[in-house]
Amino acid sequence: DTEVTQTPKHLVMGMTNKKSLKCEQHMGHRAMYWYKQKAKKPPELMFVYSYEKLSINESVPSRFSPECPNSSLLNLHLHALQPEDSALYLCASSPRGVAGVTDTQYFGPGTRLTVL
């Protein structure tokens, strides 16, 4: 089973709200990723967690705060977002997440976020 689940499917929030996106996988994968995808564009990497430690932060603004409570869960906490942050937020996981070893990323269905 190569399933990554994401909740909620859709989210509408105001610029002063605080909300969280959730991602879960039960494949025993040790790396998890957050991507942002704008319309008609490829996904852009935001964060990478490897063995529950943040290993990559692609200069993402601090209004996005990732959290990896355990190896199966990945959260993205949102606060004081801007309308231009509206996008599809994709979570992915991969088995190993270790440099030097080919890994395959499996994506969830995404959360479509609208910031008003």
Query: Of 78 and 92, which has the nearer Cβ to another protein?
Result: 92
Task: State which of residues 11, 97, 113, 115 lies at the interface with another protein (CB under 8 A).
Answer: 97
Question: Quick one: which segment of 11-19, 62-70, 72-80, 105-113 binds another protein (CB under 8 A)?
Answer: 105-113
Query: Does 56 sit near another protein (CB under 8 A)?
Result: yes
Euclidean distance between CA atoms 64 and 56, whole angstroms: 14
- Spell out the residues 6+ positions from residue 40 whose beta carbon is closer than 8 angstroms to its own: none
Near another protein in 73-92, by CB under 8 A: 88, 90, 92
- CA trace torsion 85, 79, 114, 46 (10° rounding): 40
